[in-house]
């Protein structure tokens, strides 16, 4: 990847609220990447329940009567502004942790003593020289203004919040109280030690409810958006590279000259002549590999024989502007096309197999997750494997009992959903009946994925599968709801909704009168 491309990636990722792409659903990932920071950081409403990266203790007591901000005539004290400030700040850290040094943000230093450098200013669309604290205060106030404006609009139109708002609120507050109790602190002490003095249980609860209400109002608007098949087809044709995939093989031959070390141990960078020679050698290697492949040899085997070469076999490659991808996605490409491509100091041997649209149907499924809690096991113990198996057996038996319990009752999708809300340990779905809809292949653990995409699967099927990832081991009690939209339609629908949703949300981010009061100095 070139330096300019890498920089562009960083810019795109930071400005969009980038998060790790290893999520359960690519569609949800695409939503989170595109939503604007000012509005959609509010979705992270339980940030206080997780262990804080650093304890922020304030010895002084915030003057609760001092106004920290006034937004369109509505006053907020320092504790209320701090709630949003911490939400914005922590969401930013979570989404951009690996870029902090690149943009010059040091978590171990005071934010008001650090200024935003030119790189960060360019990425974030803000002013160079502004303190990081002022930046996050500004973001918090913008977020508060958006939430305030949206809730007023919801009230004016008589919007009825779904029951899930109260359910999520109760769950979050219970988690907060449990976290405080485990630290031997009162809720207010716990909040003060994690978020700063002045944030009481009432302040936290009030603002949490507002954020949940905003989220529900936004979600209701998004859910109301529908598109015809013709509209989806038109949107696809307008940007086919974003949705098509390619199957190809390639060998990358690196042509970068390596640095050396002098007699004193100092690094000596390669000369222009050495760089030119390395690139010329890379071209000769690529040409040789290409000729050998044309003669019938395997690209993979040819790459293995050369330490400057690396082989790729991709079944469904996505487009991103580069020498290789621009060639693969050229509309003139046809099956069997091959070539040697120059890319900076490197060369590609590329073979095009096919280009296609992902027409397979996504699926909808409900599940109940019962995790295998092995946190108390000693991995060094001679009995570890036996102890782990005993835990797995016990959890599997519990899953079988729950499935039998469901079958002995009404055995409907609704009753399964109710059981999922009661018993499932999957925090991503145990408030919506264990439902995952419109999710594509290969985004769940393999066992989960294979069960859902079994060609014989039909609506109403149930079963139990064991799944394991880096974060959990557990048994899934499955209920197959049915097939959903073709995957390409899910992607196009998602993008159209995001465009419409961002336009809609902009109405809540504009034309606000925001004034900072004397209490703003206590925020943070």
pLDDT tens figures, 55-94:
333 334 544 568 999 999 999 999 999 999 998 998 888 8
Residue where a domain stops, chosen among 316, 338, 356: 356
Percentage of the chain modeled with pLDDT above 70: 87
Query: Are 19 and 161 members of one domain?
Result: yes
Residue 271 CB neighbours (<10 A): 10
pLDDT tens figures, 28-50:
343 344 433 333 333 344 443 33
Is the pLDDT score of 509 beyond 90? no
pLDDT band at 266 (very low <50, low <70, confident <90, very high): confident
- CA distance linking residue 131 with residue 129, whole number of Å: 6
- CA distance linking residue 264 with residue 381, whole number of Å: 48
Residue where a domain stops, chosen among 223, 256, 275: 223
* Helix/strand/coil (H/E/C) assignment for every residue in 287-352: HHHHHHHHCCCCHHHHHHCCCCEEEEEEEEECCCCCHHHHHHCCCCCCCCCEEEEEECCEEEEEEE
- Counting every residue written for the chain, the total comes to 524
What's the pLDDT score for residue 427? 85
What's the pLDDT score for residue 480? 98
pLDDT tens figures, 135-157:
999 999 999 999 999 999 999 99
Is the pLDDT score of 332 beyond 60? yes
Q: Is residue 136 part of a domain?
A: yes
What's the pLDDT score for residue 197? 62
Q: Is residue 506 part of a domain?
A: no
Query: Are 205 and 347 members of one domain?
Result: no
Q: Is residue 508 part of a domain?
A: no
Query: Are 305 and 263 members of one domain?
Result: yes
Provide DSSP, 223-275.
HH----HHHHHHHHHHTHHHH-EEEEEEEEE--PPPPEE-TTS-EEPPPHHHH
**Total domains in the fold of the chain:** 3
Query: Are 470 and 383 members of one domain?
Result: yes
Q: Print the domain residue range for 367.
A: 361-489
Write the CATH number for 344: 3.10.50
**Angle, helices 26-34/487-506, rounded to nearest 10 degrees:** 20
Query: Are 406 and 477 members of one domain?
Result: yes
What's the pLDDT score for residue 456? 95
Provide DSSP, 159-178.
PPPPHHHHHHHHHHHHHHHH
Which stretch, 33-37, 124-128, 358-362, has highest mean pLDDT?
358-362
What's the pLDDT score for residue 192? 85
Tell me the two tokens of residue 502: 């961002």
pLDDT tens figures, 295-320:
999 999 999 989 999 999 999 999 99
Query: Are 367 and 452 members of one domain?
Result: yes
Percentage of the chain modeled with pLDDT above 90: 70
Query: Are 55 and 154 members of one domain?
Result: yes
Q: Which residues pair with 476 in a beta bridge?
A: 369, 465
Is the pLDDT score of 130 beyond 90? yes
Query: Are 87 and 21 members of one domain?
Result: yes
Is the pLDDT score of 3 beyond 70? no
Mean pLDDT for all residues in the chain: 86
Is the pLDDT score of 260 beyond 90? no
Among the listed residues 215, 270, 248, 286, the one whose alpha carbon sits nearest the alpha carbon of residue 43: 215
Predicted structure pTM score: 0.75
Q: Is residue 148 part of a domain?
A: yes
What's the pLDDT score for residue 263? 80
Query: Are 350 and 365 members of one domain?
Result: no
What's the pLDDT score for residue 65? 62
- CA distance linking residue 134 with residue 129, whole number of Å: 10
Write the CATH number for 417: 3.10.50.40
What's the pLDDT score for residue 318? 95
Q: For 411, left (φ over 0), alpha (ψ -120 to 50), or beta?
A: left
Residue where a domain stops, chosen among 157, 189, 223: 223
Among the listed residues 66, 159, 197, the one whose alpha carbon sits nearest the alpha carbon of residue 518: 66
Query: Are 211 and 259 members of one domain?
Result: no
Query: Are 412 and 461 members of one domain?
Result: yes
Q: Is residue 172 part of a domain?
A: yes
Q: What is the CA radius of gyration of the chain?
A: 27
């Amino acid at each position: 990847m070139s330096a300019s491309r890498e920089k562009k990636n960083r810019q795109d990722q930071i400005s969009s609220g980038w998060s790790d792409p290893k999520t359960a659903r690519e569609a949800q990932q695409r939503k989170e990447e595109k939503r604007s920071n000012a509005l959609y950081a509010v979705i992270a409403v339980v940030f206080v329940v997780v262990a804080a990266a650093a304890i922020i203790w304030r010895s002084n007591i915030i003057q609760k009567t001092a106004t920290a901000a006034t937004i369109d005539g509505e006053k907020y004290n320092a504790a209320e502004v701090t709630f949003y400030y911490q939400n914005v700040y922590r969401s930013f850290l979570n989404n951009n942790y690996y870029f902090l040094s690149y943009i010059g943000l040091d978590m171990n230093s005071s934010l008001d003593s650090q200024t935003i450098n030119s790189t960060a200013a360019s990425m974030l669309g803000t002013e160079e020289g502004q303190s990081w604290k002022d930046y996050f205060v500004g973001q918090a106030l913008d977020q508060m203004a958006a939430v305030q404006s949206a809730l007023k609009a919801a009230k004016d139109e008589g919007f009825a919040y779904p029951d899930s708002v109260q359910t999520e609120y109760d769950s979050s507050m219970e988690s907060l109280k449990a976290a405080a109790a485990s630290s031997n602190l009162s809720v207010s002490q716990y909040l003060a030690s994690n978020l700063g003095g002045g944030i009481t249980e009432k302040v936290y609860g009030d603002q949490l409810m507002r954020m949940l209400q905003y989220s529900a109002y936004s979600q209701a608007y998004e859910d109301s958006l529908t598109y015809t098949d013709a509209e989806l087809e038109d949107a696809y044709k307008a940007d086919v590279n974003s949705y098509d995939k390619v199957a190809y093989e390639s060998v990358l031959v690196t042509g970068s000259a390596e640095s050396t070390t002098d007699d004193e141990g100092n690094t000596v960078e390669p000369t222009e002549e050495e760089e030119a020679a390395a690139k010329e050698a890379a071209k000769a290697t690529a040409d040789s590999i290409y000729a050998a492949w044309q003669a019938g040899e395997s690209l993979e085997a040819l790459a293995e024989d050369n330490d400057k070469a690396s082989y790729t076999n991709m079944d469904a490659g996505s487009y991103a502007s580069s020498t290789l991808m621009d060639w693969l996605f050229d509309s003139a490409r046809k099956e069997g096309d091959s070539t040697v491509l120059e890319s900076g100091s490197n060369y590609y041997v590329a073979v095009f197999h096919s280009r296609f649209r992902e027409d397979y149907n996504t699926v909808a499924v409900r599940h109940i997750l019962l995790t295998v809690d092995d946190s108390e096991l000693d991995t060094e113990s001679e009995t570890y494997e036996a102890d782990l198996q005993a835990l797995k057996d016990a959890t599997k038996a519990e899953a079988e009992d729950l499935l039998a319990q469901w079958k002995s009752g009404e055995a409907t999708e609704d009753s399964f959903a109710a059981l999922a809300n009661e018993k499932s340990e999957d925090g991503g779905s145990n408030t919506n009946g264990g439902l995952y809809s419109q999710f594509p292949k290969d985004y769940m653990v393999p066992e989960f994925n294979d069960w859902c995409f079994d060609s014989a699967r039909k609506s109403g099927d149930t079963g139990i599968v064991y799944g394991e990832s880096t974060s959990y081991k557990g048994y899934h009690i499955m209920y197959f709801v049915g097939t959903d939209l073709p995957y390409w339609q899910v992607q196009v629908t998602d993008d159209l909704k995001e465009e419409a949703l961002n336009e809609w949300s902009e109405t809540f981010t504009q034309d606000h009168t925001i004034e900072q009061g004397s209490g703003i100095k206590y925020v943070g």
